[in-house]
Structure 1
Amino acid sequence: MYSNTQLLKTGLITKCELLPGCSNDAYLIEISDDSQNLVIKAVYKPKDGEKPLWDFPNGTLYKREYAAFLISKELGWPAIPETVIRDGPFGIGSIQLYINHDPQVTYFDLVTEEFKGLSELAIFDILVNNADRKAGH
């Protein structure tokens, strides 16, 4: 029996589709176990698909994804999906468990619903120097 982390680290990538509209290359992938009885979705962000930024060293964004996961895991908040670093179809990168969601719900909606985790999320973004938080993310 595979855990999600084991599957993210060692599972067979069986599907890889470019996600449209991303500032860097990002792919929705499917990963399966050896028997292909268990399949999970994940988001793969390869190092070689990163665009140069003035405020971060080149080729480090995938490491920042993983570091943010480790820090959130240590703190116990916010709940960032499991993330690993591994080779994928386009080289080394981060692979993060995909979480089903309603794409119509944004942070603006959460604020009006008194989303209690929003303050923690803002503090976390400052802590990890997240420069990519937007209403649609």
Structure 2
Amino acid sequence: MLTHGELTVQGRIREASNAVLLCTATQDGVSVDCVYKPVKGERPLWDFPDGNLAQRERAAFLVSEAMGWGLIPATVLRDGPYGEGMVQQWIESGDEAGETDDAGEGNPAGNLLALVEGEEAGEGWKPVALAEVGEGRTALLVHADDPRLRRLAVLDAVINNGDRKGGHLLPAPDGRLYGIDHGVSFHTEDKLRTLLWGWAGEPLTGEARAALASLTLLLADGAPLATRLAELITPAELDAVRGRVADLLRTGEHPRPSGDWPSIPWPPV
């Protein structure tokens, strides 16, 4: 339905920096909600090729599926009312807000991110960084010690995600967690910016190592995933993906901030 259904624009999501349209895709009398990001609505970026963000979103989905974790909603490239673009399944986010959450009212990632007083994250939380909260006060930014977030942190390291904000985390009512907005990924230089630094330097889980080992085979020259990615990103970027996977397996650890690039996106939520 996302690939072949008739797209009807319902409205624009104005909080987004690029053109993001809420649509329905209809086929054989059945409709699903989806997000349509036309290439024409992309703002040029100094460090990414023009008109290429939609392809990177599709590439991120393919890598997520290849790792077996299903962390990104179904994402396709297709023509639409305003030309070629990315079309992605709409996810109704569940309400997971917790009592410790100060990350913003209405934040869909409520009990996954929080600001807490003091210098200790507390049980079940991982520290990220100190944040200024006004009037000379600081609070500790933390994220949940959640296996779903940990998988997402590994995926972000593989695709070199430059924009993992809190608002890009969508916990669904069925308990699954999705990540969205992967247009600024796959750069050859280290661009990893994320709120999920809580495991930096810690050993990868056995699950993560197994997924990375499988991904190595799928990224080999001539393998189906490598062939599909080669249509979406440059040869140098594909080689960089292979290099990042190899580095993760070699070190056996979650990456640390490099210090050469801001490690946390702005705004963070």
Q: TM-score with structure 1 length normalisation? A: 0.85
**Alpha-carbon separation, structure 2, partners of 1:46 and 1:61:** 10
**What code does the residue aligned with 1:105 have?**
P
Q: Secondary structure at the match of 1:62?
A: helix
**What code does the residue aligned with 1:134 have?**
K
Q: Secondary structure at the match of 1:44?
A: strand
- The equivalent of 1:77 in structure 2 is 69
**What code does the residue aligned with 2:13 have?**
L
Mean Cα deviation higher: 61-70 or 94-103: 94-103
Once the two structures are TM-superposed, the CA of residue 119 in structure 1 deviates from its matched residue by 1.7
Question: For structure 2, which runs of at least 5 residues remain unmatched after alignment?
Answer: 95-105, 115-123, 126-142, 169-269
- Once the two structures are superposed, the pairs formed by residues 37-56 of structure 1 within 5 Å of their partners are 38-56=30-48
The C-alpha deviation readout for 1:72-125, integer Å capped at 9, x for no partner, is: 111112521111100111110010011110453324059565321112211211
- The equivalent of 2:82 in structure 1 is 90
Counterpart among 148, 158, 170 of residue 117 in structure 1: 148
- The equivalent of 1:104 in structure 2 is 107
Contact kept in structure 2, 1:26 and 1:45, CA below 8 Å: yes
Q: Secondary structure at the match of 1:21?
A: coil
Q: Which one has the largest radius of gyration?
A: 2
Counterpart among 2, 7, 16 of residue 8 in structure 1: 2
**Alpha-carbon separation, structure 2, partners of 1:75 and 1:129:** 15
**What code does the residue aligned with 1:10 have?**
H
- Highest relative contact order (Cα 8 Å, sep 6+), 1 or 2? 1
The C-alpha deviation readout for 1:4-54, integer Å capped at 9, x for no partner, is: xxx0011011333111110111111111113x2x11001111111111112
Mean Cα deviation higher: 85-94 or 75-84: 75-84
Task: Please tell me whether residue 60 in structure 1 is matched to residue 52 in structure 2.
Answer: yes
- The equivalent of 1:18 in structure 2 is 12
**Alpha-carbon separation, structure 1, partners of 2:48 and 2:154:** 20
**Alpha-carbon separation, structure 2, partners of 1:94 and 1:16:** 16
**Alpha-carbon separation, structure 1, partners of 2:35 and 2:91:** 9
Contact kept in structure 2, 1:78 and 1:121, CA below 8 Å: no
- The equivalent of 1:129 in structure 2 is 160
Q: Secondary structure at the match of 1:8?
A: coil
Q: Any runs of at least 4 consecutive aligned residues in structure 1 with deviations exceeding 6 A, and if so which?
A: none
Question: For structure 1, which runs of at least 5 residues remain unmatched after alignment?
Answer: 1-6
**Alpha-carbon separation, structure 2, partners of 1:57 and 1:113:** 34
Q: CA RMSD in A?
A: 1.9
